[in-house]
Amino acid sequence: MEKLIPFTVNDLAKVTNHRSGEIKFGEKMIVLPKDADKIKFLQESEAKYVLLGIPEDIGVRANYGRPGTASAWENAIKSIANIQHNRFSKGSQIIVLGQLDVSAEMRDVENLDFNDIDDRSKLSQLVEKIDKEVSHIIFTIMKAGKTPIIIGGGHNNAYGNIKGSALAKGKPINAVNFDAHSDFRILEGRHSGNGFSYAYEEGFLKKYFIFGLHENYTSKSVLDLIKKLEDRVRYNTYDSVNIRKEKDFTREMALALEFIKTDAFGIEIDLDAIPNIASSAMTISGFSVEELRQFISFFGQHKNAAYLHICEGAPDLADSPNNNLIGKLIGYLVTDFIKANNEKEKLA
């Protein structure tokens, strides 16, 4: 994990607002001791969840998206550190591993233009470099018996999450993706719109369910491809659930779980599915925050829930002072997952 920037005790102290009579997550969360053997520490720690930040927007840029997702990790960890440690959720269950060092790659993309064919190739190559690092870190976390919670970056990082998990498990995994888009587009070089199609093509992704596709923003070619692969790739649409009311939200979650629950599965969350959340592909119509929280709680309860990935939030694109609300939302989602996952034996 050479490209990891560990989160330190001092880092935690800087983002935790201490208050008399209260205990915050930042006072209880665990960080890697200086000079400790990272793998051994992870293996021996009693904490179950490992937070990893990915402060990049290279995959988003490579997909014609608006930069800004690089800021989500810093925003989120400030909010998570100030959640109350109490009987409902405990900061001591979390190891804050740190963030992936993508500073060199972020400098490299500053002057690249996706409309230029040579620059487009360079962007894809940088995404591939990040893929390798993400998959290695996720593999390491899972082999140590921990559950990764990945925050930040574009949805290109789903590929590294899936590959790392599959290598750790020794077989392909499944995924459910709460998203307005399929991210199952053609293999044209890596970007945030084809993480799942690359993972599928390379044999790391077995079954894939897309929850809440927006009918207006899914191409005919993607729909035709999914139809051909319906034994392994399925979806529902937001429009059918919440607009036409042809399908029931709770029933659709149950059907999606039935499809993926036979193997370890990742829970992928794209914040551009939520209206008015600053993201690379912001929407004005979509599921509510409450529905998203119910979704994470529902899938997080199952024994085969292997990781949580929250991506595409872009606090830098939000109007101040609302840019801190994305971090607060991510904090809710993280604790919803942990609370549900601690009860997962009930759905064994």
Cβ burial, residue 335 (10 Å; 0-12/13-18/19+)? buried
| pLDDT tens-place string over residues 299-311 | 999 999 999 999 9
* Numbers of helices and strands, H then E, in the chain: 14, 10
What's the pLDDT at 281? 86
| pLDDT tens-place string over residues 11-63 | 999 999 999 999 999 999 999 999 899 999 999 999 999 999 999 999 999 99
Mean pLDDT of 102-130: 95
What's the pLDDT at 135? 98
| pLDDT tens-place string over residues 69-79 | 999 999 999 99
CA atoms within 13 A on the CB side of 274: 23
| pLDDT tens-place string over residues 258-299 | 999 999 999 999 999 999 998 888 999 999 999 999 999 999
What's the pLDDT at 346? 43
DSSP string, 279-306: BTT--SS---HHHHHHHHHHHHTSTTEE
Looking up tokens 């690092």 gives: 133
Cβ burial, residue 117 (10 Å; 0-12/13-18/19+)? exposed
**Total domain count, the chain:** 1
- The answer to whether 69 and 280 are in contact (CB under 8 A) is yes
Full residue range of the structural domain in which residue 77 is found: 2-344
What's the pLDDT at 348? 45
- The answer to whether 214 and 180 are in contact (CB under 8 A) is yes
Mean pLDDT of 310-339: 89
CATH of the domain at 256: 3.40.800.10
| Best mean pLDDT range from 90-94, 324-328, 341-345 | 90-94
Mean pLDDT of 315-320: 78
| pLDDT tens-place string over residues 159-172 | 999 999 999 999 99
What's the pLDDT at 51? 98
Least confident of 94-103, 112-121, 327-336: 112-121
| pLDDT tens-place string over residues 190-240 | 999 999 999 999 999 999 999 999 999 999 999 999 999 999 999 999 999
Report residue 173: phi and psi, to 5°.
Answer: -115, 175
* Residue 92 CB neighbours (<10 A): 13
pLDDT at 9 over 70: yes
What's the pLDDT at 321? 63
Whether pTM exceeds 0.95: yes
pLDDT at 319 over 80: no
Confidence of residue 115 (pLDDT cuts 50, 70, 90): confident
**Which residues fall within 8 angstroms of residue 168, CB to CB, at 6 or more apart?**
138, 139, 142, 143
